[in-house]
């Protein structure tokens, strides 16, 4: 039962963090908008990336592909964007404490489709 409370608490912490990050980007996004134009690259948001990555992260822990220490020792979540010639990729990094490797990365294409995950970030 204690593990369940710890898991629930961590899950809530991740959800709150994701909501704060998402809200921040939702507020900041209108400030850089202009005109009535739409941009295809703005269709998949960083908030959506965090939501999708959190679901995948939880699945890896629940399935045993990541040890439980990844759940209780989460240090940070970072979101970055990589641009290439004609595409954009959103990368969500979950960094943990005292594990090797210390991070797992989730990749999403510009349409928000999951395109892979690894421990190197490349």
Give 45-84 pLDDT, tens digit per residue. 999 999 999 999 999 999 999 988 888 888 999 999 988 7
- The pLDDT score that the predictor gives to residue 31 is 47
- Under the banding of pLDDT at 50, 70 and 90, the label for residue 15 is low
Give 91-121 pLDDT, tens digit per residue. 999 999 888 889 999 999 989 999 999 988 8
- Residue 121's contacts (CB-CB under 8 Å, 6 or more residues apart) are 91, 93, 103, 105
Using an 8 Å Cβ cutoff, are 21 and 47 in contact?
Answer: yes
Using an 8 Å Cβ cutoff, are 25 and 47 in contact?
Answer: yes
User: What is the DSSP secondary-structure string of 67-119?
Assistant: -THHHHTEEEEEEEEEE-SS-EEEEEEEEESS-SS-EEEEEE-TTS-EEEEES
Neighbouring CB atoms inside 10 A of 80's CB total 13
Name the more confident of 17 and 29: 17
Give the bridge partners for 93, in sequence order.
78, 105
* Residue closest to 79 by CA, chosen among 21, 19, 12: 21
Using an 8 Å Cβ cutoff, are 28 and 42 in contact?
Answer: no
């Amino acid at each position: 039962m204690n593990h369940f409370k710890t898991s629930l608490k961590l899950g809530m912490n991740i959800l709150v963090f994701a909501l704060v990050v998402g809200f921040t980007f939702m507020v900041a996004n209108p400030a850089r908008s202009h005109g009535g134009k739409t941009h295809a690259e703005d269709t998949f948001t960083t908030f959506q990336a965090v939501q999708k990555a959190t679901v995948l992260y939880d699945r890896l822990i629940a399935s045993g592909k990541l040890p439980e220490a990844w759940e209780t020792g989460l240090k940070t979540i970072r979101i970055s964007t990589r641009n290439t010639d004609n595409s954009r990729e959103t990368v969500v990094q979950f960094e943990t404490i005292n594990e090797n490797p210390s991070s797992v990365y989730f990749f999403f294409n510009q349409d928000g489709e999951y395109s892979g995950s690894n421990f190197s970030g490349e």
